[in-house]
Structure 1
């Protein structure tokens, strides 16, 4: 038997494989965190309504990026407002009334209820779809990639149907 044995060497392929897994895993995590961060800006007002002014808004006028109208509160201690502003989107039309929550410290409102919750999480749905491509292609994990894509599509579909 030989007295000396060479230490095992790492193949360059395993180092590259680890680098790919680390970079694609980090990218996936970054995409998902960005999706949650972008959604939370609106979702916090819609989901955590305790102590916030809630009511109905009738959209009377729409500009390029916003719509406005009077606000009729339903929470005790809230005051009616002659004009509040909501972001213009395909979900907001002039002449219709919407259940809304007033963002603290201003006259900006966001939709409330199931439609508002789902609409607030649309950026996360986009992040799920983007992350699914990275997981399936970059990490070569097709089943988790399909699960992420399915979750993103389900969220977008539920939002479309609800709004």
Structure 2
């Protein structure tokens, strides 16, 4: 039996909608990751040093900052609170230019910065596999997203 044109249009519309949902998930993951990731990836020429965690609030932790090189140490620098941040711990960091905020440097910081993208890849894999029927592409997206999530867990 021949498929009707309305059935084909409905199928194409569904595929287009699912592709759009997957694209929005991935763009949102990159967008939310890039705010932190840019400081870790493009750290050449930025101020590097260490922060010793003195205390933590609801969302941020503070502590004294000891820069590498000749810059002067500062107090009251902040870092985003995460499971790996605890009082008394010393972390290698990069200063966000023009702020009193620092982000974690190194491999742990890189994985932590891309954590939202990892979650978005896992979610998009469900849409890609279930909504679009692209099983291999879905498994690849899920594998990459899971690798980022696991990398964050093991490097923090």
Normalising by structure 2, what TM-score? Answer: 0.94
Corresponding residue for 1:18? 12
Matched residue SS, 1:51: coil
Q: CA deviation at 1:78?
A: 2.6
Corresponding residue for 1:38? 32
Corresponding residue for 2:139? 146
| Distance (whole Å) between structure 1 residues aligned to residue 75 and residue 24 of structure 2 | 42
Q: Which entry has the higher C-alpha Rg, 1 or 2?
A: 1
Is residue 28 of structure 1 aligned with residue 22 of structure 2? yes
| Distance (whole Å) between structure 2 residues aligned to residue 78 and residue 17 of structure 1 | 61
Corresponding residue for 2:119? 126
| Distance (whole Å) between structure 2 residues aligned to residue 34 and residue 82 of structure 1 | 34
Give the one of 136, 139, 145 matched to 2:129: 136
Deviations 1:21-79 (A, max 9, x none): 111111111110110000000000111112211101111111222111111111x4532
Q: CA deviation at 1:149?
A: 0.9
Corresponding residue for 1:109? 102
Q: CA deviation at 1:83?
A: 2.0
Is residue 69 of structure 1 aligned with residue 31 of structure 2? no
Matched residue SS, 2:121: helix
Corresponding residue for 2:41? 47
What is the aligned length?
155
Corresponding residue for 1:58? 52
Runs of 4+ in 1 over 2 A off after TM superposition: 76-79
| Distance (whole Å) between structure 2 residues aligned to residue 12 and residue 64 of structure 1 | 53
Task: Give unmatched runs, 5+ long, in structure 1.
Answer: 1-8
Is residue 82 of structure 1 aligned with residue 75 of structure 2? yes
Deviations 1:77-128 (A, max 9, x none): 5321022111111021111100001111111111000000000000000100
Task: Give unmatched runs, 5+ long, in structure 2.
Answer: none
